Structure formats: structure tokens, C-alpha cells
Chains A and B, each alone.
Chain A
Amino acid sequence: MIIGIDLGTTNSAAALWRDDGPVLIPNALGDFLTPSAVSVDAQGAVIVGMAARERQSTHPRDTVTAFKRYIGTSQTVTLGKRKFDPEELSALVLQSLKADAEAFTGTQVEGAVITVPAYFNDRQRKATRRAGELAGIKVERLVNEPTAAALAFGVHTREQEPFLVFDLGGGTFDVSIVEVFEGIIEVRASSGDNRLGGEDFNEKVVEIARPRLEPKQTLDKVDPLILQELLRAAAERTRRALSESDTAEFGFVHDGTAFATTITSAEFEEAGASLLQRLRDPVLRSLRDSGIRVETLSEIVLVGGSTRMPVVRRAITRMFGRFPNATVHPDHAVALGAAVQAGLLAKASALDEVRLTDVCPFTLGVDHAEPDGRGGWRSGLFSPIIDRNTAIPTSRVSYYQTLQDNQRSIEFGIYQGESRDVASNVKLGQVRLPVPAKPAGEIVVECRFSYDTSGLLEVDVSVPATGVSRNLVIMDEADPLSEAQIAARRDALAALKIHPREESGNMAALARATRCYEGFIGETRDMVGRWITAFEAALESQDPRRIAEARGELIAALDAIEGERFL
């Protein structure tokens, strides 16, 4: 069975194709969304999901979230006694989703379609793929998130004039312009910003609120790591509250002291103005690249939890001069779309007439030198071979000449990006080819780039004169892992003690209660303490029915004091 997985910055979800539509897969708690959070308990056992998310306020040193922002880099985090890199953390989340899917359907999960932001570069994509492998999942395809949302939106329509998918998630922003004709879903252009999301808006709230919190001396004495987490969580709550009213409280409790202040919607909008401004560039670029005018767009489809913010909705309405389409569930669309893609790969009969064509969002090329008009050469310039927004799979050729007399070899650096100087672009690899010694310009080298649907780039360079050629499949320079090494890492991960799925409901409830205990003061705190004791007693009884009952009671009680928990 192939499932679709939305591996998000804040939350992840899984779905599968069933008969004639995609269906979301609930996790052990019954939710469709699983927080992308990993925590480690005192014994070193790993906790994934909601429970981990709850533990972030109470055990910030042992918990990590938003690791998607670091995937593709070599940054690691130490939880307990072990170091984790972003791939391993993502793999743990993927494993948990896999387990949920197997429990839901009763069949084995062999492969998955995993979504990535459209603007993820090659390194980040490779790392995501590795995360899948580490989780023991065959990654059938990586799909761009806005494309997946477009799939979910447009799979049942046969014709749809070009529409724009506006995907603002927890950490990334993507824009895609998609069109449907004759059942073929075709992406016309894609663009985005990898460092723009709900988390950035949280930071803006913190910026406003922090200076206002009193008493300052107490605040300064708090451990910075804990303080950072407390501020972030409070900002998240405030941001959501501002979705509903014009003013909201920003507050948290630490060590018995309560810190609080108020924030108005207007202040938030003003502080977020620079972020809202950044939303425009990818939109402009996509419109320009596809050549489609704003007036002819049929819909603006909102995807991603952060599009719920009124400030963002207002900005979008201003940008496009019309109200956006919010009929697709912003948190679920991507996972559902991934499931559609899984169905396409499995050749589901209902999808017989449906095809998807995506584009590569970055320009790919090599570095070269150009004459500067005065007899000299200007080197380090980018020569595009595959232009951005070319339909994939694609294959393009360019020809280059030697620069000097008796040049021995010709070396190509392979880059991805939009800048004219290769120094500002991302280097993917390089390939070197020997050439016969001839006067400058007499040797012509052919360079062919082939880019396939999985985002794998293959480079073929050859010298027609001698027939010498080199082929390079772009591997990640930083970490060329062999099969054996990957297998070893996978086993190491599998050897980790992970709390079983069945426990996750109880763990989540307990973690939430602990968080509430620390987050309230006075009488409420005492009450929470008593509930925790009652629940722990029920757990010790090992009676499943009693445990389930107690859990239900606990959750209801917590809901009463802090409102329903949100994701």
C-alpha cells in the first residue's frame, strides 16, 4: 500500500487513496494531525507527536520541534544523551505515521509519497528522501506541497482555468499557479520563500510582548532556553486568539510567577508588515513566469494553517482585489493531495483520466566565463541550462568551449539558483572532463542536464571530438552515504526505545496535564495536581477500560480550564 504523507513544520498528516477519493488517516489519539515534535524522557525513550509537543513547555531541553527548518543542513540537536540530526527526527515522525496507517488499514505500508515545499532545494529534498529511508519507507515520489494541494482541489474537476495556490505553513511559503484541462493538472509556475511561515509571525508577537513583561528582573533570571519556549508557546496562543478578536492576552506562568500583557490586532498587523510584504515577491514572480494575469486567475486557494490569520487574509484580499477561496481545509489539503498522487502511482482506476505535470522551481546550470567586450573574460557567471518552471521530466543541452590554449581539462560546477553570479547560487556538485590540447575555442563540450520527476538531476558531459564522456548523478556532496551506511543508521534508529503507539493517548494526556500544572497558579494548579494523581492511579491499575475513562475525564477537565487543545 502506498500512502501520502504531509511532513510539515508544525504538524504532519497521512492519507491514502480509497476507491474514489483520498481519506485521512487518524493517529492513536484520533486526530488527523500529528505534531512534528520529538521528545525524550528521563530513561532516554523517544516520544513522538502530541505528547512531545506538550512536553516542550515542561521539558524544553529534551524536546525539539520545527526541525524541518534544518533539514538539509548538518545541524544536530542533543536530546537526553543522544544526538539527533533533522533526518532522524523526521524519520521518527514518519515511522509514527506509518504505524498509524498500518493500524488504520490493517495492511503493510510499503511506500509513501512525501510532500516537500516547492522551494526546497536539492539538498533538502535529498535529506527528506533519506529520512524516509531511515524510517524504512520506500519514497515513491517527492511532491511539492502546493502541487499536492492543487491535486486535492482539482482532482474531481476536468477543466479549471488557472488558479493560484497560496500555501503559508508553519515554516515555509509556496505559491503555485496551476491549470486543469482535459483532466490534466498542469503546474504553470512555482515559487516560494523557505524562511517565511507562522513561526516568523510568532517571533513578531514575542518582539512586541517581551519588553512589556514585568517584573523584568525575574524574567532575566529565567533559563534562556526555557524562556524562549515559553515565549514561543505564548505567542502561538496569542496569535490564534487574535484570529478571533481584536485584542488578546499574551501570558505564561513560570515558577509560580505569572507574566502577562495585552496585544491588539492593529499592533500585530503593524509588526508583521514586513512579513506580509515578503508574501508579494513569490506571487509576483510566479505571475511573471507563467505569463498569467491576476485578472484571469479563477481562484486563490488558501492552504496551510497560517492562512487562517485575518491579517494574512486581508493582505491577500488586497493583493488580488478579491476574496480568496478557503473551501479546502488548509491543514488537510496537502496530505489529501499526496494521497491522490499515491493513487496515481498505484494506477487507481478512478484516476485513469488524471495526469499531473509539475515543474522544477529553480534554474539549473553551470558556471562559465563570458567575454567582457574588451578582450578579457569574466568568469564565475551562471549559464542556465534548465530554466525554472520547465515541465519535468526534462532534458536540455548546452555547448561550451575551452578558454585557453592547450587546456587540459574542463571543469563544470553545477548550480541551482537565479543569480547571475554562481557565488550566490547553491552548488550541487561538479564534474571534470579531460580534453585534448588544442588552441582555445577549438574544443566544444556538450553538457546535458536531465531532471526527472523525483527531482533527481543527471549531468552528462561529453566531448564530441574525442568521444570522451562523463556522467554524474548529483549526490549530496556533504554526505554521500552508501547503502550499508544507511542500513546501519536505520538499524540504529530502530534500536531506539520508542514509546509504543498504544500509550500515546495516555502520554499526551499526562503531558498536557503536566504542562497545565506548570502553567497555572494557585487553586487551579492544585486542582490539576489532584487530577494528575487520579489519572496516574488509574494507569497503575492497568485496567484498560478504567484508564480510558480516567483519561476522558482528565481531558474534559483540562478543556474546561484552558479551552480545547489545538494543534
Chain B
Amino acid sequence: MSWRSPAWDVLGLDPTTDQTAIRRAYAARLKTIDADRDPEAFIALRDAYDQARVEATWRDEDADYDLLDDDTAFADDAAPLAGANLAPPPDASPPAPARIAARGPWAPLRPEDYDAQVGKLLDMFDRPEDANPWASAAEAEAMLAIWRVLAGDPRLDQMGHFADAEQWFAGLIAQNRPFSDPLVRPVSDFFGWMAAAGEIGQSPAVAFVAQRRRALDFAAALDMPGHPLHRAWVELATPARERSRRGRVRRRDIEQLLKTVRRDFPDLEGNFDGYRVGLWTSKKDRGWVAQIGWWFFIVIAIQLSHLTKCAGDQTPPPAPSFVSIKLENPRVDTDRALESLFADKLDINIVEVQNPDLNRAILAQWQAGRDAGATLADYAESLQALLDKRYRDGLANASIDVLRERQRHELAEARLVRSMGAKICADHLGGETINTSFPLPPAIEEQRKALVARVLLETRPAAKPRPKEMRFAVPPDVIAASATRAGIDRAALVRALRYEGPAEAQCAGRIAFIETVLALPDARAAPLLRAM
């Protein structure tokens, strides 16, 4: 016995494809309930009715996705206007030549003439695959001429015809983008698509064309030299072979343009040259580990060049390419890897003494690497990942001092970032990725490495991880002090801590907050530092 949906039980029917029967059952049931006193009964019945109707169409193999009995829903497919609405077809016999000559340009058009124009339009759109996707000026002219004729069709007064024509044109334009661009403006004006542009009930084709219209209007605005983002637009749209204006365009404008286009006008991104965009955008910041990764390889490269330049009695054999160095000795390999990651802050000897557990973990990693036949480069990468994880875990269980140091580091970084602009500062503090095209000064880098090293050395994975503090409740006097320090009022500070409000306030508020917390005695600072 196959499963049947409960809808049929509610209606008291066996599953059927007969829409009339379903309707009758619904009617009968409806008369037995009082929708005002018992809304739930009505809701259940109505849902069952809708469900049953839909199911009936599935079961009916010959049905063509109609949810309503005889009524066909408005179709988005590009059916030509030649439909049931037309006047009866002309005589089968061709009109006598005399009559054709009598029709001059002043004669009113007949429905057949309009349909002929539609045919012409369809022919224009029927192009080979490899044709230029964009319409030429001549083609645009032709399209507009045909459109002007079609817009004058008196049959458009009728709602039915109007609605069909609307859907048909929307479908035609949407499916033939960007060739149909010349038609977008006049057609959307005629049907008034922009007036209802933001609405949720619009058909997908119409919404698509409305969106395209907005994109085209925006592009036209960008083309004007007075527009603030004009230069950025020109820069990104120029093909890669031509000269870049990299020096004369502000990075901020490029970013603003990309952000706006990506968010609001995604199809304009096709106008950009991919290579150019790639030049201007940088990789996502994966944290300190990724930054150090770059330096790692650069440092190794420099070391290699040192090795090769080293002349003298003991000419060491040319060091093989780093990538293919096999893992030989755990201590030596690890040392090399750690040196690049932490310079002199951390090396295997220190680790062995201070944090045997970490030492074991590292050795296990090396062993695994060696067994897998990894090269030094792979090992270095896996070591990065391991240390990264331990660092994060370590922070959760770290001592107050370490947490303080971390906040001090954050503060230093924040102050530095603040000098670059409030917005960047707010984004950075909010944890969003920042543009890493500016390198952090060496002092901050050193501090960072030292901090990480310290965390790694000092913390061990606790048997029971300390429960993560769920509450982040800030005592009111801390808030007050931070607010005073930042020079903003309390409410603004609270908002800043929630990453809301103007960028300057967020930036100043956050920095002041860190400073205030750092100034507190251990007992009070502990819960805050842990949660920050």
C-alpha cells in the first residue's frame, strides 16, 4: 500500500486527479465547519485542499504544471504574440497587387502588420551562437524602430493582451541579454516596470529586466566624467593589455566600486576585466599564520641564495630546492621550520624544556610527515596548522598575564590601524578582514611572534577545558570609565561594543575599552579578558 498524504483523509477522498471532485469535497467539508469560531479547522481544511490540488496535477501525467483547473497561468515563455487574441487570419489568397499598391505609409496598420513586426523582431534575435553578444548601433536602431511600431498597437488597451505582451517582452529581453539592452529602457518605461521595481510579487522576468535597467542606468552614470567613481570604473573596465592607471586611481574608490557592483549590480561585473580586478584585490587575511607563511618562503629563498653565494674552502653542495628536501632529522627540520615562523623567539630546545607536551605533539607531526613522505615545505605547513590550533586552544586556558599581553598587542595594533582611518579600524576591530596590502611594522610583528610563542610554551591542554564564559557582562563603572576615556557617551559606547554605530565611535570606544580593562586589577579584569 503506497503512502498517501493526510490531505486526502481530511477531504475524505481517495487520491484522484479529478479537480472537480476535490473541489466538491472541499465545499462539502467547508459547510460543516465554522471558520470564525474554529479557525484551525479551516486552516487544516484549506491546506489539505491546496495540497490535494497540487498532488492531483502531479499524478496526472498529461497535466502541464497547472495548479488551477482550466485556467492557464501566465507563462513566462517566449510565446509569440500571435495567439488567440488576434483578428481572424487574412484570406488564404494573396491580396491582389492593386490593393498592395494602394496601401501607403499613411494607411493604418492591421493586426497582421503588427504580427509581421513581431516576426521581424524575433528574426533579429535569432542569431548564431558565435555572434557578438552586444548589439551594434544599426541593430539597436532597427530594434527601436520595430518597438515604436509595436507600442502603438491598439490591442494593447486590452488587459489580457497587455498582460501577455508584458510577459512576452520581459521574457524576450531577459533571455537575450546583453543583445536586448537597447530595448530595456523604452520597454520598461512603457510597461511601468520601474515603478513597481522593488516589489516581491513581480514575475522573475520583469524583475530581471528592472534590475538590468538599474544596472544600465548606473553604468551610464559611471561613464560621466563627473562621477566620483568614474576613474575607478574606467580603470577596471579597460582590457588588460592597455595601460593601467594604477597610480592615478585611489584604492578606496576601486574597493567602493567593486563593493557596490557586487552587491547591487552583479551583472555589471561582466564589464570588468578579470585580470585588472585580480590586480587590485588581494587575498583574504587568514591570520598571522598566513602572513608569516609568505615571509617564511621569502626568508627561505634568501637563505638559499646565501648558501649558494657562500664561497670558500668548504663549498657545500648546492642546496637542493627547498620543496624537495626530505625530512631527515626531527630536531633539525623542526628547528628550521620554527626559525622561519618565530625567528629567535621559539626553538625546539626551548620547547623541549618548557612544554614537553607540545614537543611530543610536534614530534608526532614530524613522524607522520616523514611516514607520508612529505617534504620540508609540507611539514612546515602542517606545523603551522598545528601551532595555530594550539595557540587558539591555549588562549582559552591562558593565564591572566598572557591575556593581558594579548590585549596589549591588540591595542597596539588597533592604534596603528586607527591611524589609517576610522572605517578600517572599525572593520578590523569587528573582526572583519582588512586589506593586508599594508605591512605591519616589524616591532608589532615581533610582539606578535613573542606573544604566540609565549602562549604555546606556557599553556598545556588542560584535562578539563575551562568552560567558555557565556556571559559577557560588563560592569557599569567600566563602561562609564571607557566612555569618559573615549570621549563619547555611555549609550554610544555600548553600541560601539556591539559593533554598531558610526565607525569613529566604534574605533575610539573599542580602544578605550581595552585600555580601561587593562588598567583594572586582576580580579576584576579576569572575566572580561577571558571573554574578549
Q: Which residues of A contact B (CB under 8 A)?
A: 141, 162, 181-184, 280-281, 283-285, 287-289, 291-296, 318-321, 345, 352-353, 355, 357, 363, 372-374, 376, 378, 382, 384, 388, 391, 393-395, 404, 406, 418-421, 424, 436-437, 450, 452-453
Shortest Cβ distance from B184 into chain A, in angstroms? 20
Question: Is B263 a contact of A393 with CB atoms below 8 Å?
Answer: no
Question: Is B46 a contact of A391 with CB atoms below 8 Å?
Answer: yes
Question: Is A453 a contact of B35 with CB atoms below 8 Å?
Answer: yes
Question: Is A378 a contact of B263 with CB atoms below 8 Å?
Answer: yes
Docked CA distance A374–B262 (Å) = 8
Question: Is A288 a contact of B203 with CB atoms below 8 Å?
Answer: yes
Question: Is B74 a contact of A184 with CB atoms below 8 Å?
Answer: no
Q: Can you report 11 A-B residue pairs in the complex whose CB atoms are below 8 A from each other? A: A162-B71, A284-B163, A288-B163, A319-B159, A372-B263, A376-B263, A388-B201, A393-B43, A406-B470, A419-B199, A437-B472
Question: Is A320 a contact of B199 with CB atoms below 8 Å?
Answer: no
Question: Shortest 10 CB-CB distances between A and B: which pairs?
Answer: A294-B160, A182-B27, A393-B39, A291-B73, A318-B157, A418-B199, A419-B198, A321-B158, A319-B159, A420-B198
- Return the contact of B42 from the options A318, A345, A378, A393 (Cβ within 8 A): A393
Question: Is A421 a contact of B163 with CB atoms below 8 Å?
Answer: no
In the complex, what residues of A have CB within 8 A of residue B72's CB?
291, 293
User: Any chain A CB within 8 A of the CB of B68?
Assistant: yes
In the complex, what residues of B have CB within 8 A of residue A420's CB?
198-200
Known: A284-B163, A292-B71, A373-B262. Is A184-B201 also a contact (CB below 8 A)?
no
- Give the nearest-CB partner of B199 in chain A: A418
Known: A292-B71, A296-B70, A437-B471. Is A453-B36 also a contact (CB below 8 A)?
yes
Shortest Cβ distance from A373 into chain B, in angstroms? 7
- Give the nearest-CB partner of B38 in chain A: A393
Docked CA distance A453–B34 (Å) = 11
In the complex, what residues of A have CB within 8 A of residue B203's CB?
288
Question: Is A419 a contact of B472 with CB atoms below 8 Å?
Answer: no
- Return the contact of B24 from the options A182, A280, A373 (Cβ within 8 A): A182
- Give the nearest-CB partner of B30 in chain A: A355
Extra A-B contacts (4), CB below 8 Å, given A284-B163, A418-B196: A182-B24, A287-B159, A373-B263, A420-B199
Known: A373-B262, A378-B263, A436-B470. Is A395-B43 also a contact (CB below 8 A)?
yes
Question: Is A280 a contact of B199 with CB atoms below 8 Å?
Answer: no
Question: Is B36 a contact of A181 with CB atoms below 8 Å?
Answer: no
Shortest Cβ distance from B82 into chain A, in angstroms? 16
Known: A393-B35, A437-B472. Is A181-B23 also a contact (CB below 8 A)?
yes
Known: A288-B203, A321-B160, A406-B472. Is A421-B30 also a contact (CB below 8 A)?
no
- Return the contact of A287 from the options B28, B163, B200 (Cβ within 8 A): B163
Question: Is B71 a contact of A453 with CB atoms below 8 Å?
Answer: no
User: Any chain A CB within 8 A of the CB of B127?
Assistant: no
Docked CA distance A289–B259 (Å) = 35
In the complex, what residues of B have CB within 8 A of residue A393's CB?
35, 39, 42-43
Question: Is A318 a contact of B158 with CB atoms below 8 Å?
Answer: yes
Shortest Cβ distance from A434 into chain B, in angstroms? 13
Shortest Cβ distance from B98 into chain A, in angstroms? 33
In the complex, what residues of B have CB within 8 A of residue A378's CB?
263
Question: Is A363 a contact of B200 with CB atoms below 8 Å?
Answer: yes
- Return the contact of B266 from the options A357, A373, A384 (Cβ within 8 A): A373
Interface 1/0s, chain B 457-479, versus A by CB < 8 A? Answer: 00000000000001110000000
Docked CA distance A424–B198 (Å) = 9
Shortest Cβ distance from B419 into chain A, in angstroms? 25
User: Any chain A CB within 8 A of the CB of B87?
Assistant: no
Docked CA distance A183–B263 (Å) = 51
Interface 1/0s, chain B 126-170, versus A by CB < 8 A? Answer: 000000000000000000000000000000011111110010000
In the complex, what residues of A have CB within 8 A of residue B199's CB?
418-420
Question: Is B470 a contact of A284 with CB atoms below 8 Å?
Answer: no
In the complex, what residues of A have CB within 8 A of residue B36's CB?
141, 345, 452-453
Question: Is A294 a contact of B472 with CB atoms below 8 Å?
Answer: no
- Return the contact of B159 from the options A289, A294, A352 (Cβ within 8 A): A294
Interface residues of B in 67-123 (CB under 8 A from A): 67-68, 70-74, 84
Question: Is A181 a contact of B35 with CB atoms below 8 Å?
Answer: no
In the complex, what residues of B have CB within 8 A of residue A320's CB?
158-160
Question: Is B200 a contact of A384 with CB atoms below 8 Å?
Answer: yes
Shortest Cβ distance from A459 into chain B, in angstroms? 15
In the complex, what residues of A have CB within 8 A of residue B163's CB?
284, 287-288, 294
Interface of A is mostly: mixed
User: Any chain A CB within 8 A of the CB of B31?
Assistant: yes
Q: What's the count of A-B pairs with C-beta under 8 Å?
A: 121
- Return the contact of B158 from the options A285, A296, A319, A450 (Cβ within 8 A): A319
- Give the nearest-CB partner of A183 in chain B: B27
Shortest Cβ distance from B154 into chain A, in angstroms? 9
Interface 1/0s, chain B 278-305, versus A by CB < 8 A? Answer: 0000000000000000000000000000
Docked CA distance A437–B467 (Å) = 14
In the complex, what residues of B have CB within 8 A of residue A289's CB?
201
In the complex, what residues of A have CB within 8 A of residue B166's CB?
284
Docked CA distance A289–B71 (Å) = 12
In the complex, what residues of A have CB within 8 A of residue B192's CB?
281
In the complex, what residues of B have CB within 8 A of residue A296's CB?
70-71
Question: Is B200 a contact of A374 with CB atoms below 8 Å?
Answer: no
Docked CA distance A100–B525 (Å) = 77
Docked CA distance A450–B67 (Å) = 25
Docked CA distance A452–B192 (Å) = 34
Docked CA distance A181–B198 (Å) = 36
Shortest Cβ distance from A415 into chain B, in angstroms? 11
- Give the nearest-CB partner of A423 in chain B: B198
Docked CA distance A420–B84 (Å) = 35
- Give the nearest-CB partner of B41 in chain A: A393
Shortest Cβ distance from A485 into chain B, in angstroms? 27
Docked CA distance A16–B160 (Å) = 38
**By CB atoms of chain A within 10 A, which of B71, B159, B266, B470 has the most?**
B159
Interface residues of B in 15-46 (CB under 8 A from A): 23-24, 27-28, 30-31, 35-36, 39-40, 42-43, 46
Question: Is A394 a contact of B67 with CB atoms below 8 Å?
Answer: no
Interface 1/0s, chain B 35-69, versus A by CB < 8 A? Answer: 11001101100100000000000000000000110
Shortest Cβ distance from B519 into chain A, in angstroms? 24
Docked CA distance A469–B157 (Å) = 52
- Return the contact of B27 from the options A184, A285, A436, A450 (Cβ within 8 A): A184
Known: A355-B30, A355-B31. Is A285-B159 also a contact (CB below 8 A)?
no
Question: Is B39 a contact of A452 with CB atoms below 8 Å?
Answer: yes
In the complex, what residues of A have CB within 8 A of residue B31's CB?
183-184, 352-353, 355
Docked CA distance A395–B40 (Å) = 8
Interface 1/0s, chain B 259-274, versus A by CB < 8 A? Answer: 1001100100000000
Docked CA distance A6–B160 (Å) = 32
In the complex, what residues of B have CB within 8 A of residue A394's CB?
43, 46
Docked CA distance A424–B344 (Å) = 61
**By CB atoms of chain A within 10 A, which of B72, B163, B266, B472 has the most?**
B163
Shortest Cβ distance from A46 into chain B, in angstroms? 35
- Give the nearest-CB partner of B84 in chain A: A295
Question: Is B27 a contact of A293 with CB atoms below 8 Å?
Answer: no
Question: Is A418 a contact of B23 with CB atoms below 8 Å?
Answer: no
Shortest Cβ distance from B435 into chain A, in angstroms? 14
In the complex, what residues of A have CB within 8 A of residue B27's CB?
181-184, 355
Docked CA distance A372–B266 (Å) = 10
Docked CA distance A345–B37 (Å) = 11
Known: A182-B23, A321-B158, A453-B36. Is A291-B71 also a contact (CB below 8 A)?
yes
Question: Is B71 a contact of A280 with CB atoms below 8 Å?
Answer: no
